[in-house]
Amino acid sequence: MKRWKKLGCLGVLLAVAAVCCTGPVLLAAATAKNRTGRGGTVSAAAAGIPERMLAGYLTGAPQVTRYVSGCKGMRWQILAGIARVESDHASGHLVGAGGDIQPVIVGPRLDGSGAGGNTTPIRDTDGGAWDNDSEYERAVGPFQFLPETFRAYGKDGNGDGVISPHNVDDAALAAAVYLCGNGRDLGNRDQLRAAIHTYNLSWAYVDDVMSGIDRYDALGRVPTLPSGNVGAVIQAALAQQGQPYSWGGGGPSGPTTGICCSPDGQDGSIVSGFDCSGLTQYAYAKAGINLPRTAAEQARAGRRIPASAGYNALVPGDLIFYGYSPTSDSTIHHVGIYLGDGKMINAPRPGKQVQIDPVTAMPDYAGGARLL
């Protein structure tokens, strides 16, 4: 909870302190490979979330009504969306069976120096107990709470008698309680966005979190595969979920190493996988269609569907494009395959995998192309 990025917001954080406690939570049901989520079953691997972290989100979300009885719509995808941005699901850290994270996750020192974006010093409130700093505060845990805030909202999410921001069960439940406020309906998109904005007073932050929530919501809700060539294309692309993104990688025969270097510096020559247009080449080859190599070139294949027609003009199997100018194919920089129900499968960017995303995951929709 990087609330230190904005001035004058700490007073709001401590307005409410819940006083209830929760009984033990049975985590055994939450440790299977496949989890039941909104709209169906989703695997931790498909979500790109470590098993034990996902277990914490799954057990934290339904407990929230013990503390905020009027809260509606809390679900694991919301907690996952926050933790993805705050700590990348505790990436690079070990998560024990009881949910404790080692080494602990501690943010930059909030001494007003400007490091990490902070310009206002925040003096220590926990004696260094959670952040190992007895002079200034630091955000702590996978949800990046300030210690003072966690004291107000922290809960014993797994019933072990200890409340710690460095335990995923405790931190996830605390985040759920905080986001619910006095009883929000988080199934309402506007209220959900408002709740996330209280977590960090930045609309860019809200958009980032929402993109993750939308993707997690989409998992497990893939439409029934069409028949014929459309089904063959979609099935071929779906079968590549989990393949890493490789700049310049992939083609009609499958995943390959790519080239150096992407705009953010990925050396595709050491990564075997797909970039966005390599994936579409591979999938369409299963229907006997040879696509050009780049996304911009692929926009000139088939019948063009203009961006002005909107997403509703797309049908499953269509190519879907994103470009800096929606009316200029030469500016197209990304392509995916439309699945229906507002979702696409694509290789999004370096560091990610082939995955299902909402079509709104990127802001610069440039229409589609129909080849089947």
- The model's pLDDT over 53-93, given as tens digits with 9 standing for 90+, comes to 998 998 899 899 999 999 999 999 999 999 999 999 999 99
| pLDDT per residue as tens digits for the range 153-212 | 999 998 889 999 999 999 999 999 999 999 999 999 999 999 999 999 999 999 999 999
Is the pLDDT score of 3 beyond 90?
Answer: no
What residues contact 231, with CB distance under 8 A and at least 6 apart?
225
Q: Looking at beta carbons, which pairs linking 145-150 to residues 24 or more positions away fall under 8 Å?
A: 145/1, 145/171, 145/174, 145/175, 146/1, 146/3, 146/4, 146/10, 146/13, 146/122, 148/10, 148/13, 148/14, 149/1, 149/3, 149/13, 149/14, 149/178, 150/174
- Backbone CA torsion sign across 291, 294, 297, 298: positive
Quote the tokens at residue 370. 């129909």
Is the pLDDT score of 4 beyond 60?
Answer: no
pLDDT tier, 120 (very low <50, low <70, confident <90, very high otherwise): confident
Q: Which residues pair with 123 in a beta bridge?
A: 136
| pLDDT per residue as tens digits for the range 310-334 | 999 999 999 999 999 888 999 999 9
State the pLDDT at residue 209: 96
| pLDDT per residue as tens digits for the range 198-244 | 999 999 999 999 999 998 988 755 556 678 899 889 988 887 877 89
With tokens 């089947």, the residue in question is 372
State the pLDDT at residue 155: 95
Quote the tokens at residue 318. 């269509």
User: How high is the mean pLDDT of the chain?
Assistant: 85
pTM: predicted TM-score of the whole model, two decimal places: 0.57
The packing angle between helices 228-238 and 276-285, to 10°, is 140
Helix, strand, or coil (residue 244): strand
Between CA 249 and CA 256 the distance in angstroms is 5
Give me the domains of the chain, ranges plus CATH numbers: 3-218 (no CATH), 228-370 (3.90.1720.10)
| pLDDT per residue as tens digits for the range 94-109 | 998 889 999 999 988 8
Between CA 77 and CA 5 the distance in angstroms is 25
pLDDT tier, 7 (very low <50, low <70, confident <90, very high otherwise): very low
